[in-house]
Homo-oligomer: A and B are copies of this chain.
Amino acid sequence: MNTLGRHILAEIYGCNSDILNNRILIERVMVESALEAGAEVREVAFHKFSPQGVSGVVVISESHLTIHTWPELGYAAVDVFTCGESVNPWDACNYLTEKLGAGHMTATEVKRGIFEEPVKVANL
């Protein structure tokens, strides 16, 4: 079995609410998380909701990171999806969890793009 990518779905609880509601700060730590994992940042898009909450994405050469925050619950839903061998998505996930001041994090890794035969692709 050959897979193209690794996708971590992280449930991050007990976070600092002020951080979760700060779009600029969330954007910065998301980009830092991508860089921490050795990823190459391509596009960034973040949005601040009213009255609270931030959603955003960092598109990387190796796939993406996303976040959605609920400051009132101290909760963030985070995804880190990476392709190739050079980037470890757990590095980004762990870095981000620390920066959000989280109480606890649970995560699942899902394999994406499963092929029976070895795959030869242009960008890995």
Number of interface residues of A (CB under 8 A): 43
Contact across chains for A77 and B4 when beta carbons are under 8 A apart: yes
Does chain B have a CB within 8 A of A24? no
Chain A interface mostly: strand
Contact across chains for A9 and B11 when beta carbons are under 8 A apart: no
Which 9 pairs between the two chains have the least Cβ-Cβ distance?
A43-B45, A45-B45, A57-B57, A42-B47, A77-B112, A51-B122, A43-B47, A55-B59, A47-B59
Q: Which positions in A face B, CB cutoff 8 Å?
A: 4-5, 7, 9, 11, 42-47, 49, 51-53, 55-57, 59, 61, 63-64, 66, 68, 70, 72-73, 75, 77, 79, 81, 83, 108, 110, 112-115, 119-123
